[in-house]
Amino acid sequence: MIQAYVFPGQGAQFPGMGKHHYDNNAFAKRFFEQANDILGFRISDVMFEGSEEDLRQTRVTQPAIFLHSVIAFKSIENAAPHMVAGHSLGEFSALVANETLGFEDGLRLVSIRAMAMQKACESIPSTMAAVLGLEDQKVEEICSEIFRETSEVVVPANYNCPGQLVISGSVKGIEIACERLKAAGAKRALVLPVGGAFHSPLMAPAREELAKAVESTGFHKGKCPVYQNVVAKAVTDPNEIKQNLVDQLTGAVKWTQCVQAMIADGASKFTEVGPGKVLQGLINKIDKSVATEGVN
């Protein structure tokens, strides 16, 4: 059986996350204390005692999900992935799981990425919207039309599963897109409560910052391939992995295509590692025939 491990992205956080690991595993406690030192604030306190609002700040959310996911993976006995993937931020957890990145380097990069994204969000009013029940191609066409006619940025950002695509762009671009997409037959086109246009050209300033940090970090040959969001195929070369991580900030998360590629390459069981179970739901919608499970 070919076993795939997949790791969630932003949105999987919840108050109290990771506390059961901290309370029950000495190694988890060590990881949390290490993270507190690296980040310069007690992220463990925010994760265990903070409110949903506290956890929603990008500078907290991303390291918190990464930390929870890596600890959950390390708690699996004899974990031997044949392939790994992560949804957006989850790609960093996946790269620690297959040993392309060390834990400390991974956490530092996630923290730099989170701060840079937060800064980009604050400098330009932008947002995202979930589009349900419309063909991907139709959504792509309408986004392109809006940009051609108005110069407002609006692009497909997350291909989550068939019939569920998230778009990203300027506030005005997203408003126009939601109206047009509903008129074109979308069941729903719903603006999301996020503070910025992730995975769009509006993240260019954050991309530059992340690129510098990635370039100065040691990446190793991983133990198995990672299926990366922007290319939706197996990647093993550390330099390609670096480039794809940087490109992901302004490029689309092709999650549907990643899962399809993993299945085409033989994956028969997917284990979602980290908080929540969003990815299990998406994978079941992409292909009902594969087995899914979660390790929280």
Active-site residue, from 69, 170, 199, 200: 199
Catalytic residue among 88, 93, 168, 200, which?
Answer: 88
Q: What is the 3-state secondary structure of the chain? A: CEEEEEECCCCCCCCCCCHHHHHHCHHHHHHHHHHHHHHCCCHHHHHHHCCHHHHCCHHHHHHHHHHHHHHHHHCCCCCCCCEEEECCCHHHHHHHHCCCCCHHHHHHHHHHHHHHHHHHHHHCCEEEEEEECCCHHHHHHHHHHHHHHHCCCEEEEEEEECCEEEEEEEHHHHHHHHHHHHHCCCCEEEECCCCCCCCCHHHHHHHHHHHHHHHCCCCCCCCCCEECCCCCCEECCHHHHHHHHHHCCCCCECHHHHHHHHHHCCEEEEEEECCCCHHHHHHHHHCCCCEEEEEC
The question of whether 199 is a catalytic residue gets the answer yes
Q: Which residue has the tokens 């790269």?
A: 95
Return the structure tokens found at 23: 């309370």
With beta carbons less than 8 A apart as the criterion, state whether 226 and 232 touch: no
Active site residues: 88, 199
